[in-house]
Structure 1
Amino acid sequence: MKRYFLVSIILLSIFYTSCIPYKDTLYLQNKSTATDSLQVIVEQQKPYRVQINDILNVRIKVTDQDNVQIFNPIGIGNLNASGSERAYFDGFTVDLHGNIRIPELGEMNVLGYTTTEIEKLITDKLLEDQFKETANIFVTVKLTGLRYTTYGEIGKGMQTIYQERVNIFEAIANAGDITDTGDKTDVLIVRQYPQGQKIHHIDLTDLNVMNSPYYYVQPNDMIYVKPVKQKSWGTGTNALQNISSIATILSLVTTSILLFQRI
C-alpha cells in the first residue's frame, strides 16, 4: 500500500511540474496593478534611421511629370516580379558605404537618416541641380516593406509586412503565432546597429511590454522564440496530455510491481 502511495505522489509531482503554467500562455497580463484598474500605455517608437542593405522607394513628382520619368524607374528590372522582388528591382539599395545612387543626382549618403530627412536631401539636391521652386517638387521616400526574420518556436522564415509601423504582436501574428511550447516570457530580438548586433529580451506576457523601446519591430530584426523547459522533458503541454502519459506510466508501474510480487 505504501508503494502505491509513494508512486502516486511521484506521478502527481510530475503532473504539476510538467504542465506549462496557464499564466505563461497569456499575452499582455496586468502584472503590476489590479486587474480592474485603468492603465494608460504610452507607446515608444523613435524614428527609424536607414541602415546598410535597406531598400528605399523614392518617388518624385513635379508640375510637368514628364521631366521626372528618369527618377521613377518602375518595373525596369523585371516586369514579372511582384511584392518584395518588385521592390528589389525598383528600389534604391543602401550600399556598404551608406549610399544610394539616383539617376542624374548621383550618389547620396543616407546612412543614419530618417526617410523624412532623406526627402529633404533629395528635394534640396533637385532644386540645386535640376529644377526651380516653381516646379512644385514633391518627394516621397519609404522603406520597401518591413522585412524581418523569425525562428525557433514560431513560424520560421523571412517575413515582409508592407507597413511603416509594425509592433511585435503584429509581427508574430504575421509569422503564424508562437507555438504552445514557445517561451512567451523571454523572446529575443536581435537588432542591427551601425556598430554591430545587439540582443534584447522582452516579456510578451506582461502588459508593460508596450512601453518597451523594442515593442516595435525594425527592418532586419531577427525574432527568436525559445522553447519552454517542458519541451525537453518530452511531457505534454496541458493536463489532458499529461493524464494520458501518467496513465500509461501508472499502468506500467503497476504491472511491474505485480510481476515482482509473484517472483
Structure 2
Amino acid sequence: MRYYMKCRIIELNSQPNRKEHHMKNPGQFTLKLFMLLLISGILASCVPQDNLKYVQNKTSSEIKESYEHLRPIKKIRPFDNLYINVLSLDEQTARIFSNQNSSITGGLSIDLLSYTVSERGTIDFPFIGEILLNNLTLPEAKAKVEAELSQYLSNTAITMKFVNSNITVLGEVRNQGEFPFFKEQINIFQALGYAGGITDYGDKSKVTLIREYDNLVRFHNLNLTDKKIVENEYYYLQPGDVVIVEPIKTKFRSLRTFTYATFLATTTTLITVLYFFR
C-alpha cells in the first residue's frame, strides 16, 4: 500500500504543469494560435468551386456541344421609343416627315428625336396623325408607316429602330445599375457582362428575371450553371427587364466584408483557444 501511494505521488509530480509548459514556450503557443485562426479564416472564406462556373455539365452523360434555341422577335409595346428617319428623293419634303431636320437636331441625342409609343400602342406622326404599331415587329411597323407615307410622298423609304432600350442588373454583380443597349436583342450573359459579371459570392443557380407583361409583373428563375439555359425562353432579355443575382449562403463568412457577425465569431474563437491552451 505504501509502495503504491509513493509511486502515484511520483507519477503526479512527474507531470509538467500545463500553465508552466506554455509559459516556457510562448512562441509555440502563439504559433498554434495563429495557425488555428488562419485555418478558421480560410475555411470561412471558401466558396464552392461549382459556384464559380457559369455553364456546367452536371454529369458526363450530359455533355453536349450544341443546343437549339429560338431567337425571339421583339415586338413594339407601349412606351417603347422608335427612331424613324424618312428617306426620299425630295429632301425638302422628306424633312417634313423626318426628325432629321438639321435646324432642330444640333447636339440632340437620338433618343430625344424618337417617337414614344403611347399606352394605346400608337405613335403621332407628322401630318398623318396616329398610327397603330402595337404588337408589330420592326419590319411590319416599317411597312405600315411606309404605306401611310406613300399617300404623300412617292419613292420613299424609312429606317426604323428601337432606341433607349435599358436593362437593370442588381444583386451580386460587380457593377449594379441600369444599362442601355443598342442591339435589337441581348441575352442574359451579355447583360451580366455590362454589370462586370457575377461576383464570387453570387449564386449562379439562383438568378431572378423580373419582366412586365402589360399590367402584370412576373418573376422567372434562371439557372446559369446549366448549359440548357440557352434553350430557355427567357435567355434573351427585353427592354425594361430586371435581373437580380442572389448571394450564396456562405457570403456572410466572407473576410472581404468585416461585419459584426465576423467580429463576434473571431472573438469567440479567440476566447475558446485561450481557454484551451491555458
TM-score normalised according to structure 2 size: 0.74
Q: Which amino acid aligns with 2:85?
A: R
Per the alignment, residue 46 of structure 2 pairs with: 19
Percent of paired sites with the same residue: 26
CA contact (8 A) 2:206 2:221 kept: yes
C-alpha deviations, 1:200-259, integer Å up to 9, x for none?
A: 11111111111111111111111111111112x33448xxxxxxx999865442212344
Distance 1:70 1:256, change over 3 A: farther
Matched to 1:224, the amino acid is: I
Q: Within the alignment, does 1:45 sit opposite 2:67 as a pair?
A: no
The CA RMSD over aligned residues, in Å, is 3.1
Question: 2:169 maps to which residue?
Answer: 150
Equivalent of 2:141, from 118, 129, 141? 118
- Once residues 93 and 59 of structure 1 are traced to their aligned partners in structure 2, the CA distance between those partners, rounded to angstroms, is 14
Tell which structure's C-alpha radius of gyration is larger.
2
Instruction: List alignment gaps of at least 5 residues for structure 1.
Output: 1-10, 238-244
Match of 1:71 in 2: 97
Shift of 1:15: 7.0
Is the contact made by 2:44 and 2:253 (CA closer than 8 Å) also made in structure 1? no
For residues 159-178 of structure 1, give each alpha carbon's deviation from its aligned partner in whole angstroms, at most 9, with x where no partner exists. 00111121111111112211
Shift of 1:62: 2.2
In 1, Cα distance between equivalents of 2:203 and 2:103: 45
Structure 2 CA distance for aligned equivalents of residues 20 and 27 of structure 1:
14
Report the equivalent of 1:131.
153
Partners of 2:197 and 2:105 in 1: CA distance = 33
Q: What is the one-letter code of the residue matched to 1:80?
A: G
| Structure 2: distance between partners of 1:219 and 1:67 | 34
- What is the deviation of 1:16? 6.2
1:110/1:19 CA distance change after superposition, 3 Å: same
CA contact (8 A) 2:210 2:218 kept: yes
Is the alpha carbon distance of 1:176 and 1:15 closer, same or farther for their aligned partners in structure 2, counting shifts above 3 Å?
Answer: closer
Q: Which residue of 122, 127, 135 maps to 1:104?
A: 127
- Find the aligned partners of 1:209 and 1:188 in 2 and give their Cα distance: 13
Q: 2 CA distance for matches of 1:33 and 1:63?
A: 62
Relative to structure 1, the CA distance from residue 40 to residue 219 in structure 2 (aligned partners, 3 Å threshold; closer, same or farther) is same
Residue number in structure 1 paired with 2:107:
80
**Secondary structure class of the residue paired with 1:142:** strand
Q: Distance in 2 between matches of 1:22 and 1:165?
A: 31
The amino acid across from 1:117 in the alignment is E
Which stretches of structure 1, 4 residues or longer, exceed 6 Å deviation after superposition?
Answer: 11-18, 75-78, 245-249
- C-alpha distance in 1, partners of 2:103/2:169? 31
Asked if structure 2 preserves the Cα contact closer than 8 Å seen for 1:56 and 1:142, the reply is yes
Q: Which has the higher contact order (CA 8 A, sep 6+)?
A: 1
Change (3 A) 1:32 1:255: closer
Pairs within 5 Å for 1:27-38:
27-31=54-58, 33-34=60-61, 37-38=63-64
1:216 alignment partner AA:
Y
Count of aligned residue pairs for this structure pair: 234
> Amino acid of the residue matched to residue 73 of structure 2?
P
**Normalized against structure 1, the TM-score is what?**
0.77
Corresponding residue of 2:6: none
- 2:253 is aligned with 1:253: no
